[in-house]
Amino acid sequence: MAADGDVFDVIVVGAGPVGETAAARAVRGGLTAAVVERRLVGGECNYYGCVPSKALLWPMELAAQVGRMPGLKLAGPIDAGAVLARRDDFVYHHDDSGPVNALEKLPATFVRGQGRLAGARRLEVTQPDGAVRTLSARHAVVLATGSDPLIPPIPGLAAARPWTNRDATSVEEVPKRLIVLGGGPVACEMSQALHALGTEEITLVVRDDRLLRRSEPFAGEMLARSFQQSGIGLRFGRSIDRVERPAPGGPVAVDLDDGTHLDADEILVAAGRQPVTADIGLETAGLQPHGPLAVDDSMRVTEVRDGWLYAVGDVNGRNMLTHMGKYQARVCGDVIVARARGRADDMPSLRDTADARGAPQSIFTDPQVISAGRTEARARADGFRVRTVMLDMGGIPGAALQADGYAGRVKAVVDEDRKVLLGVTVVGPAVVDHLHALTIAVTAEIPLDRLWHAVPAFPTVSEFWLYLLEQYGL
């Protein structure tokens, strides 16, 4: 049995943004909480993902904006050293003492170490000194263990010690030549960021026939044109047969499936992520230690008896975005409080809400890509009667004022039976701040004839809403 001091209402495994949010909601509801983390408190997003990547990308975005405005020009190239130093400030120089203090002020008890389930509502934590501490939960254990980069089983790849997002966002010395495996958001963002910081030769090896395969096709097409104009190489429909790095720290040799040979200083693997389910004791709860954990709309793991185990964020595989994981965590924490207090009627649910309907995504490339809800292909596959509307944003006065030759497009996917938006995708310079408007329109299912009365200001880029609705026929 755990000592009295090691018994909590809720135990959260993982102290990234998702785990922190779940603990905060439980504490806000009057429950006690312990949070277990073996790595840095603050998680992947804050140290190796969203935050440092955007710190590297914003200077590129600003430089691109200046380059599109007549009469303005940069005094010189981007100062890579200054950008990297600013990045280091945003990631606290990988010192998590501040986030630990914030966690404890919730208040929650923080335990550093590797947490493993040890049966129903029990967790064994192997601490840095090797000691094992046993924690018990009165009500629930929440798994918020996140995901790790996926390294494909390509001959020689693992032995070549490839970069992942963690290496790319933590870069101290920018390589001159880089090969990137993948064509998704991480591959695209980091290719442009490193190119802006001084990497002279970048080649993306993309298995698919376009970039951003989960987005609307035009998004990948517009981004590919931007890559080609800046000198970033694209090899579509190709895969890597073999990777070699003969000397540690030396150059990397890559053979493609069409016989092409590439050489580079580093290879960045951005081929997806896998939920962290190994070595966390899932077997003791009757679960398999691989793949995402299936959950219901209250984030309860469906295959565990008595309903004491929850999974939020990347580990459940529903929507591998930080903001969506935090959304799930808010629901999860409130559900646990309601169940603990015997107030089943107060429990929230993710059913028919943003998790399934209006999830927003932002890709901070140049041009930026933002979307909320379904693509046309997804909407049709889901059985909706769909009409789409496309709009070239170059003719919008606010866009033309922002940049000469403004290149941007919008695509709306409309449910023709209910006359509401199922999804919207926008591609263009500096469009990311329009994303929440997309999210509200899609998630709230605002009828188009009502949305017509939401008047955008003149002259702003947001007038794309007016032009889009007029093109639809309103």
Q: Please report the pLDDT score of residue 362 as a whole number.
A: 97
Q: How far apart are CA 419 and CA 410, in angstroms?
A: 18
Q: Which residue type sits at 351?
A: R
C-beta separation of 12 from 32 below 8 A: no
C-beta separation of 234 from 206 below 8 A: yes
Q: Please report the pLDDT score of residue 3 as a whole number.
A: 56
pLDDT in tens, the chain (474 residues): 455 669 999 999 999 999 999 999 999 999 999 999 999 999 999 999 999 999 999 999 999 999 898 888 888 889 999 999 999 999 999 999 999 999 999 999 999 999 999 999 999 999 999 999 999 999 999 999 999 999 999 999 999 999 999 999 999 999 999 999 999 999 999 999 999 999 999 999 999 999 999 999 999 999 999 999 999 999 999 999 999 999 988 999 999 999 999 999 999 999 999 999 999 999 999 999 989 999 999 999 999 989 999 999 999 999 999 999 999 999 999 999 999 999 877 888 887 677 667 899 999 999 999 999 999 999 999 999 999 999 999 999 999 999 889 999 999 999 999 999 999 999 999 999 999 999 999 999 999 999 999 999 999 999 999 999 999 999
Structure tokens belonging to residue 147: 């995901």
Q: Which helix (H) or strand (E) holds 197?
A: helix 185-197
Q: Is 425 helix (H, G, I), strand (E, B) or coil?
A: strand
Interior angle at CA 24, CA 95 and CA 19, nearest 5? 60
Q: Residue 52, preceding bond cis, omega within 30 degrees?
A: no
The DSSP result for 139-187, as a single string, is EEEEE---EEE-----TTTGGG--B-HHHHHT-SS--SEEEEE--SHHH
The DSSP result for 373-398, as a single string, is E--HHHHHHTT--EEEEEEEGGGSHH
Q: How far apart are CA 126 and CA 141, in angstroms?
A: 17
Q: Which helix (H) or strand (E) holds 223?
A: helix 217-230
| Closest CA relative to residue 388, chosen from 356, 411, 360 | 411
| Closest CA relative to residue 408, chosen from 423, 427, 431 | 427
Q: Residue 152, preceding bond cis, omega within 30 degrees?
A: no
Q: Is 368 helix (H, G, I), strand (E, B) or coil?
A: strand
| Closest CA relative to residue 242, chosen from 205, 275, 190, 211 | 205
Which DSSP symbol is given to 293? P
Structure tokens belonging to residue 371: 């979307």
Percentage of the chain lying above the pLDDT 90 cut: 92
Structure tokens belonging to residue 283: 């077997």
Q: Please report the pLDDT score of residue 1 as a whole number.
A: 42
398 C-beta neighbours (distance < 10 Å), count: 17
168 C-beta neighbours (distance < 10 Å), count: 26
Backbone dihedral region for residue 301 (phi beyond 0: left; psi -120 to 50: alpha; all else: beta): beta
Cα distances from 110 to residues 31, 37, 41, in angstroms, run: 15, 8, 9
What tens digit of pLDDT does each residue of 232-267 get? 999 999 999 999 999 988 999 999 999 999 999 999
Which DSSP symbol is given to 304? S
| Closest CA relative to residue 227, chosen from 211, 209, 207, 208 | 211
Q: How far apart are CA 54 and CA 57, in angstroms?
A: 5
Backbone dihedral region for residue 254 (phi beyond 0: left; psi -120 to 50: alpha; all else: beta): beta
CA pseudo-torsion sign 459, 460, 464, 465: negative
Q: How far apart are CA 149 and CA 253, in angstroms?
A: 21
Contacts of 20 (CB under 8 A, 6+ apart): 35, 41, 42, 43, 99, 103
Give bridge partners of residue 154 from the DSSP assignment.
none
| Closest CA relative to residue 314, chosen from 133, 155, 150 | 150
C-beta separation of 253 from 240 below 8 A: no
C-beta separation of 233 from 204 below 8 A: yes
150 C-beta neighbours (distance < 10 Å), count: 13
Q: How far apart are CA 469 and CA 339, in angstroms?
A: 44
The DSSP result for 251-279, as a single string, is -EEEEETTS-EEEESEEEE-S-EEE--TT
The DSSP result for 206-222, as a single string, is ESSSSS-TTS-HHHHHH
Which DSSP symbol is given to 32? -
Contacts of 474 (CB under 8 A, 6+ apart): 448, 449, 452
| Domains of the chain, first to last | 4-42+96-148+274-346 (3.50.50.60), 158-271 (3.50.50.60), 367-472 (3.30.390.30)
